[in-house]
Amino acid sequence: MSPIVTAILVASNLGLIFLLMTVPLGLRTVSVSRVIPADRQRLWQALWPLGCEAGWSGEILSAQPLDDEGVARIMLSWEGRDGKPIERRARFDDIVEGSRFSMRVIEDTALDSSFWKDYSETTELVSEGGATRVTLSRTDRYRGVAFLVFRLFAMRRELSKLERWAATGRYSKGGWFEHPLSQVGFAVLSALILWPFFGLHLVGLALASILTSVVALHELGHMAAFRLMGHRKARMIFIPLLGGIAIGGRPYNSRFEVAFVALMGAGFSAFLVPIAIAASALAGAEGHKAAAGLLAALAGCAALFNVANLVPVWKFDGGQVLRQICPGPIVLALASFSLLSAFLALGWQAGFSLGFLLAAGAVFAILSLLTVGSGVKPRHELEPIRTVDRFVIAVALLAVFTIHGYGVLWAAAQLV
Residue 296 and residue 411: Cα distance in Å, rounded?
Answer: 6
- Higher pLDDT residue, 16 or 82? 82
Q: Which residue has the higher pLDDT, 123 or 288?
A: 123
Report the pLDDT value the prediction gives residue 240, as an integer from 0 to 100. 75
Residue-wise pLDDT for 387-412, tens only, equals 999 999 999 999 999 999 999 999 99
What percent of the chain has a predicted confidence (pLDDT) above 90? 57
Indicate if the pLDDT at residue 202 is higher than 80.
yes
Residue 133: other Cβ atoms inside 10 A: 15
Confidence grade of residue 371 (pLDDT, cut at 50, 70, 90): low
Confidence of residue 81 (pLDDT cuts 50, 70, 90): confident
pLDDT tens, residue by residue, 314-349: 778 999 999 999 988 899 989 988 998 899 899 999
Structural domain ending residue among the three candidates 168, 195, 212: 168
The pLDDT of 241-268, averaged and rounded, is: 90
Shared domain for 15 and 72, answered yes or no, is no
Model confidence at 242, in pLDDT bands (50, 70, 90)?
low
pLDDT at 146: 83
The answer to whether residue 173 sits within a structural domain is no
378, 258: one domain: yes
Q: In this predicted structure, which of 195-199, 288-292, 320-324, 364-368 has the lowest mean pLDDT?
A: 364-368
Among 194, 178, 157, CA closest to 237: 178
Instruction: Judge if 296 and 318 occupy the same domain.
Output: yes
Residues 123 and 228 in one domain: no
Is residue 239 domain-shared with residue 159, that is, in the same domain?
A: no
pLDDT tens profile 7-62 = 666 677 677 777 777 788 899 999 999 999 999 999 999 999 999 999 999 999 99
Residue 162's domain comprises: 25-168
Whether 267 and 344 map to the same domain: the answer is yes
| Average pLDDT of the chain to the nearest whole number | 89
Domain boundary among 168, 199, 232: 168
Asked if pLDDT for residue 360 goes beyond 80, the answer is no
* CATH of residue 76: 3.30.530.20
| Same domain, residue pair 8 and 29 | no
Confidence band of 93 (pLDDT split at 50, 70, 90): very high
So what's the pLDDT on residue 2? 54
Task: Say what the pLDDT of residue 83 is.
Answer: 82
Q: What is the 3-state secondary structure (H, E, C) of the chain?
A: CCHHHHHHHHHHHHHHHHHHHHCEEEEEEEEEEEEECCCHHHHHHHHCCCCCCCCCCCCEEEEEECCCCCEEEEEEEEECCCCCEEEEEEEEEEEECCCEEEEEEEEECCECHHHHCCCEEEEEEEEECCEEEEEEEEEEEEECHHHHHHHHHHHHHHHHHHHHHHHHCCCCCCCCCCCHHHHHHHHHHHHHHHHHHHCCCHHHHHHHHHHHHHHHHHHHHHHHHHHHCCCCCEEEEEECCCEEEEEECCCCCEHHHHHHHHHHHHHHHCCHHHHHHHHHHHHHHCCCHHHHHHHHHHHHHHHHHHHHHCCCCCCCHHHHHHHHHCCCHHHHHHHHHHHHHHHHHHHHHHCCCHHHHHHHHHHHHHHHHHHCCCCCCECCCCECCCHHHHHHHHHHHHHHHHHHHHHHHHHHHHHC
pLDDT at 376 over 90: no
Whole-prediction pTM: 0.84
Count how many domains the chain has.
Answer: 2
Mean pLDDT, rounded, for 138-165: 91
At 177-187, the pLDDT tens digits run: 777 788 888 88
Confidence tier at 6 by pLDDT (50, 70, 90): low
pLDDT reading at 1 higher than 60: no
Residue 143 is predicted with a pLDDT of 85
Average pLDDT over residues 63-80: 90
Indicate the residue among 137, 168, 199 that finishes a domain: 168
Is 406 in the same domain as 300? yes
Q: How far is CA 131 from the centre of its chain?
A: 38
**Confidence grade of residue 5 (pLDDT, cut at 50, 70, 90):** low
